[in-house]
Amino acid sequence: MTPAVLYALTGLGLFVLGLYALIVHAHLLRKILAFNVMGSGVFLVLAGLAGRTASGIPDPVPHAMVITGIVVAVAATALALSLMLRVAGATGRARLPDEHER
């Protein structure tokens, strides 16, 4: 097993772990954290699976993508956190009410 595959598998593991946490945890902060874990997993896959050119230099494109992805993730997290605070302010709880589920 090459290190690249190991990274990729770890990335997938993080993605699944994050997904699990997203589903089972009710608290919004935990859900937001779960997203960040999932995001990191995807980034790890992207970086880990990056091809190598003939001279052994890594392909820069996935790295550019990861950086873009991180920027997006930060923005999304910021929005999520501020929205969470507003939800907590309006409903008194930092979790989603269940009755609208489905």
Distance CA 9, CA 38 (A): 13
Distance CA 20, CA 45 (A): 18
Is residue 84 a contact point for another protein (CB under 8 A)?
A: yes
Sign of CA dihedral 47, 52, 58, 63: negative
Is residue 90 a contact point for another protein (CB under 8 A)?
A: yes
Query: Residue 29 Cβ, how far from another protein at the closest point, in Å?
Result: 12
Q: What is the three-class DSSP state of 99?
A: coil
Query: Residue 59 Cβ, how far from another protein at the closest point, in Å?
Result: 8
77 CB-near residues (< 8 Å, 6+ apart)? 32, 35, 36
Is residue 14 a contact point for another protein (CB under 8 A)?
A: no
Enumerate binding residues for another protein (CB under 8 A): 8, 15, 19, 22, 28, 31, 35, 38-39, 41-42, 45-46, 49-51, 59, 61-62, 65, 68-69, 72, 75-76, 79-80, 83-84, 86-87, 90-91, 96-97, 100-102
